[in-house]
Amino acid sequence: MDAKRAKTGVVRATTTAPVNIAVIKYWGKRDTKLLLPINSSLSGTLDQEQLHARTTVAASSSFEADEIWLNGKQEDISNQRLQNVLGAVRALAAKKDPEHPLKDAHIKIASVNNFPTAAGLASSAAGYACLVAALAELFGVQDQELTAIARVGSGSACRSLMGGFVRWEKGTRDDGADSLASQVVPESHWPDMQVLILVVNAGKKGVSSTSGMQSTVKTSALINHRAEVVVPQRMKDIEKAIQDRDFQTFGRITMQDSNQFHATCLDTYPPIFYMNDVSRQIVQILTQYNDAAGEIRAAYTYDAGPNCVIYCLKQHVQEILSLVCHYFPSSESEFVRGRSTTASDYSSTVDAAVREKISGPTTADGVKYILHTGIGPGPKTLTNEDAFLIAEDGSVKQQA
Amino acid sequence: MDAKRAKTGVVRATTTAPVNIAVIKYWGKRDTKLLLPINSSLSGTLDQEQLHARTTVAASSSFEADEIWLNGKQEDISNQRLQNVLGAVRALAAKKDPEHPLKDAHIKIASVNNFPTAAGLASSAAGYACLVAALAELFGVQDQELTAIARVGSGSACRSLMGGFVRWEKGTRDDGADSLASQVVPESHWPDMQVLILVVNAGKKGVSSTSGMQSTVKTSALINHRAEVVVPQRMKDIEKAIQDRDFQTFGRITMQDSNQFHATCLDTYPPIFYMNDVSRQIVQILTQYNDAAGEIRAAYTYDAGPNCVIYCLKQHVQEILSLVCHYFPSSESEFVRGRSTTASDYSSTVDAAVREKISGPTTADGVKYILHTGIGPGPKTLTNEDAFLIAEDGSVKQQA
């Protein structure tokens, strides 16, 4: 247990947690309070070097109430999902030790992201996973049940509690006790797997995923067939592809499942649109690129927004970066970020034979920037004082 | 029989035929040679005053070969679908009269549309329906089997051989003999039903429907569920709605089926996109409009392209025209065409209570023009010489 007890009697723990990007999409709940899904899902956990949430939790009998600060700003902690998470962790701690030293202590929470929350990069999953990991540290509880606790904060948060590739079983029990996340393979299994996130310039955000998925469940004539027939087979097939490091199968299923998720959104009444013309243009360029290469080299997937996430292998990263830079020229000074900071020249990187089979308009500034990242580990506990967002005396530190 | 025999021995017939717009979409063939569909479909036949094809067919023992002219230009008649249609009509005539006077005559065909072929307004359906109607006139054959002959030219052409609302039964026989079109109600049944076609400014045309639908049949995990489970119920429900003049049910199913058709295109691998951002913006504006009105007043449907077709009732035409003109301002001089040539002012036509619930960006020139039409009759036979595209001597007249 790495929780730090200061002389002041304030006990603290700080963790970071990753973002995850699903390749088999979660869309639709069978229980909207317990956040139980109508189908299992599977995701890659992204490298925290590029994207992570960082959370410090502190407990003290001297605190008069539970409080939360997000990105340096105090927020209302009465939020139902937050209360569900706090209550569930306290209950788990009490189950393990009825006389738990923190059982009556109030808790202060401070959390920040190292990336823009608004960019549509699954920040809530990282945020709730980080909160649960930090509380688990604080209370000294470690249990797969923690994934069920993260789930009641934000469904897909349960997949951010482990590294590598992670499955979230839909489960069958009404109480959700078997709707848990577990690791398919650790991050070390497939080191060549890379991730490129194309942040697309978009207008106002579309329908929230919480209301959108319930509208789909209520009105789509196709969603049940997807959940009951299509997804179970895809889960088996993509898990095997990951075990075998079979990128062709992995990439095909990833693209097909992204397409089908957006298809069920369109089959919703009234229809829900998350992809825009730039998103579609990216799909068409990558489809031509894969066809020209005679193999799948870039596997796109889209969540509830226009951003494109590309899973690809290390040897094709520069080719794909140069392709995107060619068709989406940008005036942005830091257009390529993360593991790569520049893109090679298109004509010198991509074979002429491949290039001549790709065509389409170029769209200036259609893509805001590209983040190059990869697959990484689960939450990490930090112990150096600099990492703490709450000081020894229990006060929330000012953000630089 | 209105076929005209001239002193020259040239026998001629001229007919016009309408465009039809499906409300239950045809997408996917079970037989690509006989053009047998995987699901039944249903459409409204549009008023020929605004949109029609006109075809003259001429037969003479003096002609040395079959020939065809489209919009004044001679085209290759060896096209397989054309040959199938010619062969099928000749076979039907021979079946009725083994000694048919025209059995050895070659045929000249001349056809024109009164609307731009490129605009994506289902011109092939009108064209093949018109060819079959003219040939039937020429050979003096009238039979429901004609709808099967039009079908082998262009699947949905079979629905343009009757007025009002028309069903096309998928049929179950391998030879397609029971995959026929029949009338649900004549055009006189629901005179208040109006149609607005919003021609959207688009880039290059997407995937052809012929290749697109087969790609969907091969790769979509949802298309069979649509064809086998969803469509049969919708066919029953929308036929009843039409019989009952129940616009609320008619409009809801029309929009749902358009959405689902495009959803199965998106579920295709690689995905097929026909709607663009303007198409989607129209959907969102009309959805807000219907919600604000507390009833469905504008029912959108999209075929294999970005154009929007709106089914609506007469009393809401001006309201909808003014709404579209408000959100899609245009510099086009003849922006509103057909039964209406002007749109009333938005703020004076649409209630303030409705207007304040509608919001969104305005997109200048996103819509090229609006054609106001309605439901009309099936093919018509023309007998005045001016209407003929081929002269008494068998020569093709020059187009003005």
Q: Which residues of chain B does A266 touch, with a Cβ-Cβ cutoff of 8 Å?
A: 259-260, 262-263, 266
Report chain A's mean pLDDT, rounded to a whole number.
Answer: 94
pLDDT in tens, A331-374: 999 999 999 999 989 999 999 999 999 999 999 999 999 999 99
Average confidence (pLDDT) over A296-319: 97
- Phi first, then psi, for residue B279 (nearest 5°) are -55, -45
- Residue closest to B303 by CA, chosen among B335, B265, B271: B265
Predicted local confidence at residue A119, as pLDDT: 62
CATH 3.30.70.890 domain residues, chain A: 193-374
Count of other CB atoms within 10 angstroms of residue A172: 10
Helix (H) or strand (E) holding A372: strand A367-374
Which residues contact residue B258 at a Cβ distance below 8 angstroms, ignoring those fewer than 6 apart? B25, B300, B301, B302
* B372 close contact with A: CB closer than 8 A: no
What separation in angstroms does the CA of B82 have from each of B4, B19, B78, B127, B153? 23, 19, 7, 11, 6
| Pairwise CB contact (< 8 Å): B269 & A256 | yes
Contact A222 B260 (CB under 8 A): yes
Q: With contacts defined as CB-CB under 8 Å, which chain A residues touch B226?
A: 221-222
CA distance A48 to chain B (A): 32
Euclidean distance between CA atoms A192 and A301, whole angstroms: 18
Q: Determine contact: B283 vs chain A, CB below 8 A.
A: yes
Pick from A24, A254, A256 the residue to mutate for testing the B interface (most B CBs within 10 Å). A256
Would the CA dihedral through A214, A215, A219, A223 be positive or negative? negative
Q: What is the pLDDT of residue A202?
A: 72
Interface test with A, best of B235, B259, B301, B358 (most A CBs within 10 A): B259
Q: Which long-range contacts (CB under 8 A, 24 or more apart) does A351-356 make?
A: A353/A292, A354/A289, A354/A292, A354/A293, A355/A292
Low-confidence ranges of chain B (pLDDT < 50): none
The DSSP secondary-structure symbol of B270 reads S
Residue B84 touches chain A, beta carbons under 8 Å = no
pLDDT interval class at A92 (50, 70, 90): very high
pLDDT at A204: 66
pLDDT in tens, A274-294: 999 999 999 999 999 999 999
Smallest Cα–Cα separation from A100: which of A63, A138, A69? A138
Which residue is listed with tokens 């040395």? B64
B226 touches chain A (CB under 8 A): yes
Name A216's Cβ contacts closer than 8 Å, sequence gap at least 6: A27, A28, A223, A264, A265, A267, A268, A272
Of A233, A258, A257, A225, the closest CA to residue B222 belongs to: A225
CA distance linking residue B387 with residue B186, whole number of Å: 26
Rounded distance, CA A11 to CA A2, Å?
A: 10
Q: Which CATH architecture has domain B4-186+380-387?
A: 2-Layer Sandwich (3.30)
d(CA A251, CA A312): 8
H or E stretch covering B163: none
CA distance A163 to chain B (A): 30
Distance CA B238, CA B190 (A): 14
* Residue A203 in contact with partner chain B when CB distance is under 8 A: yes
Q: What is the pLDDT of residues A174-213, one digit of tens each?
A: 999 999 999 999 999 999 999 999 999 776 677 888 999 9
The pTM of the whole model exceeds 0.90: yes
Residues of chain A with CATH 3.30.230.10: 4-186+380-387
Amino acid at B285: I
Q: Does B227 touch chain A (CB under 8 A)?
A: no
Per DSSP, helices labelled H in chain A are: 80-96, 123-139, 145-153, 209-219, 223-225, 231-243, 247-266, 277-293, 317-327, 346-349, 352-355
Distance CA A335, CA A196 (A): 12
Best mutation target among B266, B278, B279, B286 (most A Cβ atoms within 10 Å) is B266
Q: Is A387 on the interface with B (CB under 8 A)?
A: no
- pLDDT at position A363 is 94
Query: How does B10-19 read in b/e, with b if 16+ C-beta sit within 10 Å?
Result: bbbbbbbbbb
Query: With an 8 Å Cβ cutoff, is A228 touching chain B?
Result: no
Residue A320 has pLDDT above 90, yes or no: yes
Residues A304, A212 contacting (CB under 8 angstroms): yes
Residue B2: its pLDDT value, please?
Answer: 59
CATH code for residues A193-374: 3.30.70.890
The size of chain A, in residues, is: 400
Tokens at residue B8, please? 């020259």
Lowest mean pLDDT of A139-143, A390-394, B26-30, B200-204, name the range. B200-204
CA distance A145 to A242: 25
Q: What is the pLDDT of residue B129?
A: 97
pLDDT in tens, A236-285: 999 999 999 999 999 999 999 999 999 999 999 999 999 999 999 999 99
Give the residue ranges of DSSP H helices in chain B: 80-96, 123-139, 145-153, 209-219, 223-225, 231-243, 247-266, 277-293, 317-327, 346-349, 352-355
Q: Taking the alpha carbons of B334, B339, B340, B341 in that order, is the dihedral positive or negative?
A: positive
Nearest CA in chain B to A267: B260
A398 pLDDT more than 90: no
Which token pair is A208?
Answer: 């929230």
